[in-house]
Amino acid sequence: MSRVIWASLVAALGGLLFGFDTAVISGAEGTLRDLFDPTYQRLSGAFGTPPFWHGALVASALIGTIIGSLVFSKPADRYGRRPMLMLMGGLYLLSSIGSAIAWDAGSFAFFRLIGGLGVGGASVVAPMYVAEIAPANIRGRLVALVQLNIVLGILLAYLSNFTIASFELGAIEWRWMFGIEAVPAIAFTTLLFTNPRSPRWLVAQGRDNEARNVLISMGGVSSDAGKELAAIRASLVETRKHLTERFFQPKYLKPILMAIAIAAFNQLSGINALIYYTRRIFEMAGASGTSALLQAVIIGSVNLIATAIALMVIDNFGRKKLMLVGSIGYILSLGATAIAFYTEMTGPVVLVSLIVFIASHAFGQGAVIWVFLGEIFPNSVRARGQSLGSFVHWFMAAIISLTFPMFAEISGANIFAFYALCMVGQLLWVIFVMPETKGVPLEEISKKLGID
């Protein structure tokens, strides 16, 4: 059992790098805006405005994420989960070094896109790998470890940015912020060599003896490994039977619309605007550069604690109840932030409001979205349903990251008021449309949604 936990922890480091790579730009975003402003001004002559082009630079990683989330599942089936995770580590390493030595806006955007490919791939492959090596009785907790590590990675990025800024490195400060990611990227890739192959993947390749050895090494006994092997074979046969079934057909309309709705609302809360532009938001509220980075660390800490608690209580409180609490928290905190900017009573008010916001996200959307997406689709199309939700999630994240600088340039209040209004829409959707899936068998959920 200890080897299962170790292998899961190593794989979950992919989630940590995912979170780190996502949030690290928040510390350097303002410097990059000033550094590349001549490029933005030149491009604006043909199309857009400087804030648009800066948003595009920040969103470049998310373009890679969208691509990565779509393309890496098939190579993972062909070449294996572990080699793909190693490739993710290599992409993170290349992105961190390339971003640190970038010579212009174009090269920086390219290397950030490379990192985004790693984020998108890890979001698919890391949970898949952990789910396939973990025994059923602890599978849920170990898969949740990947989600928790994403949030830990965000906190570590904020903490790293604050620490580097405290050294007052001047013009090269932003390069260190990106370059430091090379350390966990190397550690992740190296440690993966100690992990076994996925037994499910080995069975799919006809390598049953290797799969049996992996199952035994993971804490099972020979007889249990035989039963597990038989279950894996049966599961693969069932999966292959459904590969030809069409996904976009009328009977799946309800879960498809629900997947699109929950993924779109997730980003319309403005969560990625906060993660990517934390320092700028606090500077807009009157904080100095270093103070803004420290406040980002506070936000990251609250996010980690709230996420850990939410993952422990999600099966007790239910998905709908958590979404209700999260939606109300979103509306109150975003509304308070908008009012603070309207009245120019910022400072501590914005910090407290955004602490409530990030806690609301952790208890609501952050804890629920991926669980809910896995429950509303039947086995035959679940993977495709989750891929659709993931695509919408990352697409909307790119839109939010692209547009935030443009709206923030006009008015900090208006953009937060817009996010609050979107969360009123989410609250109504949760009350009148979203089904409760806690403790409901998957077959019963399908009947409720008119699938069977």
DSSP-assigned letters across all residues of 63-127: HHHHHHHHHSHHHHHHH-HHHHHHHHHHHHHHHHHHHHT--SHHHHHHHHHHHHHHHHHHHHHHH
Q: Which residue carries 């697409």 as its tokens?
A: 395
Percent of the chain with pLDDT over 90: 57
Task: Give the model confidence (pLDDT) of 307-351 as tens digits.
Answer: 999 888 887 888 899 999 999 999 999 999 999 999 988 889 999
User: Cβ distance 198 to 213 under 8 Å?
Assistant: no
Query: Of 151-160, 184-193, 382-391, which gets the smallest average pLDDT?
Result: 382-391
What average pLDDT does this structure show over 18-46? 89
Our CA dihedral for 115, 120, 126, 128, rounded to 10 degrees, sits at -160
State pTM to two decimals.
Answer: 0.91
Which pLDDT value is given to residue 332?
A: 98
Alpha-carbon distance of 263 to 336, in angstroms, equals 24
Residue at 307: amino acid letter = T
Both structure tokens of 335: 């509304």
Output the CA–CA distances (angstroms, integers) from residue 316 to 141, 193, 240, 334, 364, in the order listed.
14, 37, 34, 27, 14
CA 361 to chain centre: 13
Task: Give the model confidence (pLDDT) of 231-283 as tens digits.
Answer: 888 878 877 776 777 888 999 999 999 999 999 999 999 999 999 999 999 99
User: Cβ distance 358 to 306 under 8 Å?
Assistant: yes
What average pLDDT does this structure show over 70-94? 92
Question: Domains in the chain, start-ordered, CATH in brackets?
Answer: 1-195 (1.20.1250.20), 249-452 (1.20.1250.20)
Our CA dihedral for 40, 292, 326, 9, rounded to 10 degrees, sits at 90
User: Which of 66, 53, 121 minimizes the C-alpha distance to 90?
Assistant: 121
Q: What backbone phi and psi angles, to 5 degrees, belong to 175?
A: -65, -40
In this predicted structure, the answer to whether residue 219 has a pLDDT above a threshold of 70 is no
135: helix, coil or strand? coil
What average pLDDT does this structure show over 128-150? 79
Q: Which residue carries 């709705």 as its tokens?
A: 261
Ranked by mean pLDDT, the top range of 40-54, 188-202, 303-317 is 188-202
